[in-house]
Amino acid sequence: MPLLSAPPHAPPVPELAPSPDRRRRDGAGALKVAAVVPAFNEEARIGAVLETLVGAAPVHEIVVVNDGSRDRTLEVARSFPQVDTIDLPQNQGKGGAMRAGAQRTDADVLLFLDADLIGLQAPHVDDLLDPVLRGEADMTVGVFRGGRLATDLSHFLVSYISGQRAIRRELFLSIPGIAHSRSGVETAITRHVKARGLRVRNVVMQGVTHPMKEEKIGLIPGSRARLKMYWEIARSLLDGQTPND
């Protein structure tokens, strides 16, 4: 049985050609790293994330996937000349946006980061990438600590829902159901990796957090969005197998 089934009216995720290869900062033999940032209505927050990524030495390419935003997210991303942008006219959900970004690049390793992070610094990027680049882990998962109680507690209880992770591109693209997993994408990734006995390392991201949905869009709309997110995560757990931390 497939991991996740597509919603009956889900628009297709476009096949995207790789962007032109950029010079690798660490020499011809180094692994190429692409940071992929899926974004939906994050004009007020994405700039800080991109500023950190632009200054992060291990990152050779930055791809922002504007997932049908109705604000100036795309314009903010395009104001950074180092950033490649994808504009999805219809919202695909987080899983579809992440896959679109992965298809855009030919990098060896993908670094996925949320667009609304608060407190992200270059050392956090290094810490997420290092175990994968050294061959010590097949995937890393960023775990918030010391940012705020709500997000610290969430990551303590269910770290596998974290959107901050580094993973080999070929491994990510091999995971079934990603394009239609929406907010269940992190659960689907973790389940796939652990079911195959691959190496996963949690990496503490000290001082990093993000705003709650209720803070971003208001109490009632935020609560609805949170329930929708929980449902999409639950769809990724329909086989009853919760990923172990």
Q: What is the pLDDT of residue 242?
A: 41
CATH code assigned at 88? 3.90.550.10
Model confidence at 185, pLDDT cuts 50, 70, 90, reads: confident
Q: Is residue 78 part of a domain?
A: yes
Does 227 reside within a domain? no
In a domain, 222, yes or no: no
Would 226 be classed as within a structural domain?
no
- Confidence label for 28 from pLDDT (cuts 50, 70 and 90): very low
Range of the domain at 155: 33-209
**Which range, of 89-98, 146-155, 236-245, averages the lowest pLDDT?**
236-245
- Is residue 241 situated within a structural domain? no
Residues 6+ apart with CB under 8 A from 177: 2, 3, 4, 5, 95, 188
Q: How much is the mean pLDDT over the chain?
A: 80
Q: What is the pLDDT of residue 23?
A: 36
Q: State how far the Cα of 170 lies from the Cα of 108, in Å rounded to an integer.
A: 8
pLDDT band at 51 (very low <50, low <70, confident <90, very high): very high
How many Å separate Cα 178 from the centre of its chain?
12
Q: Is residue 76 situated within a structural domain?
A: yes
Residue entry with tokens 């394009």: 179
Confidence at 155, pLDDT banded by 50, 70, 90? low
